[in-house]
Structure 1
Amino acid sequence: MKPAEAYILNQPEPFKSMLMHLQILIEGTFPDVDLQFKWKIPFYYLNDKPFCYLNPSKKKGYVDVVFWVSAHLTKYNEYLISENRKVVKSLRYFKLEDINEEILLTVLDEAHQLKDKGFYKRS
């Protein structure tokens, strides 16, 4: 078992359910991403470049799906949260039912399509 998978399975509820659901959606839709464990959180890479990461905030009670190339995302920007972060934006979920799969998969797909524009070329 990968360290990132163990991390997800060891989270308390509702974080565990949200993280598992997000993992299934991301890996099921984008099989070319690689789940790693970086900076003590599950981090997805595409062609060895950061793609997105899953950041549970137990203190604040939510899970963020954080997008590395957020400056280039154009779809569903009204749902993306920057919160004084200069480089990244995220979709935020407080409970499993908050996860809107259409919005999530659309934003993930747009980020994934950036690989065709050279954003995720191997170094």
Structure 2
Amino acid sequence: MNPAEDYIYKAPEPFNHIMMDLHVFISSNFPDAVLKYKWSLPFYYLKGNIMFCYINFRKKYVDLGLAYGSELSNKHNKLVAGEGRKRMRSLRYFSMDDMDNKVLLETLIELQNLRLNR
């Protein structure tokens, strides 16, 4: 197992379940996204070196960080800036019930198009 997968699987409950679902979702829907371990976090990259998103757990939630998320439309009003971030936005999951696959897929497709067409 690589360090990125290790981070996901060894996270405390209930975060590891949320992160595993996100990992499976991203891997299934974006098969070209490559999982790497960068800045001590699981990061997904497009075309080898284009930052896409990362998974992190905090004290109370899982953070799906979106590179250049500030440029997304936020049509579902779910993106969070937080912590003085200028470009990064995230989708936050406090429990499995917070996961909305439609919002997740539409957000990641928009992000993929943004990142690949820069």
**TM-score of the pair, normalised by structure 1:** 0.88
Name 1:70's counterpart in structure 2: 69
Give the counterpart letter for 2:87 in structure 1.
V
Name 1:25's counterpart in structure 2: 25
Per-residue deviation, residues 2-56 of structure 1 (Å, max 9, x unmatched)? 1111111111110110000000110100001000111111111112111101111
* 2:85 is the counterpart of 1:113: no
Give the counterpart letter for 1:89 in structure 2.
R
Name 1:6's counterpart in structure 2: 6
Contact 2:79/2:90 (8 A) holds in 1: yes
Offset of 1:77 from its aligned partner?
5.3
Return the alpha-carbon distance in structure 1 between the equivalents of residues 46 and 116 of structure 2.
Answer: 12
Unaligned runs of at least 5 residues, structure 1: none
Contact 2:52/2:115 (8 A) holds in 1: no
Name 1:53's counterpart in structure 2: 54
Return the alpha-carbon distance in structure 1 between the equivalents of residues 9 and 116 of structure 2.
Answer: 33
Secondary structure class of the residue paired with 2:37: strand
What does 1:72-111 align with in structure 2 at a 5 Å threshold?
A: 72-76=71-75, 78-83=77-82, 84-111=84-111
Secondary structure class of the residue paired with 1:53: strand
Offset of 1:72 from its aligned partner?
2.2
Question: What is the number of residues matched between the two proteins?
Answer: 116
- Across the aligned residues of Structure 1 and Structure 2, the Cα RMSD in angstroms comes to 1.3
Offset of 1:94 from its aligned partner?
0.4
Q: Percent identity?
A: 41
Contact 2:71/2:87 (8 A) holds in 1: no
Contact 1:65/1:92 (8 A) holds in 2: yes
Unaligned runs of at least 5 residues, structure 2: none
Contact 2:50/2:115 (8 A) holds in 1: no
Secondary structure class of the residue paired with 2:13: coil
Contact 1:33/1:46 (8 A) holds in 2: yes
Give the counterpart letter for 1:24 in structure 2.
V
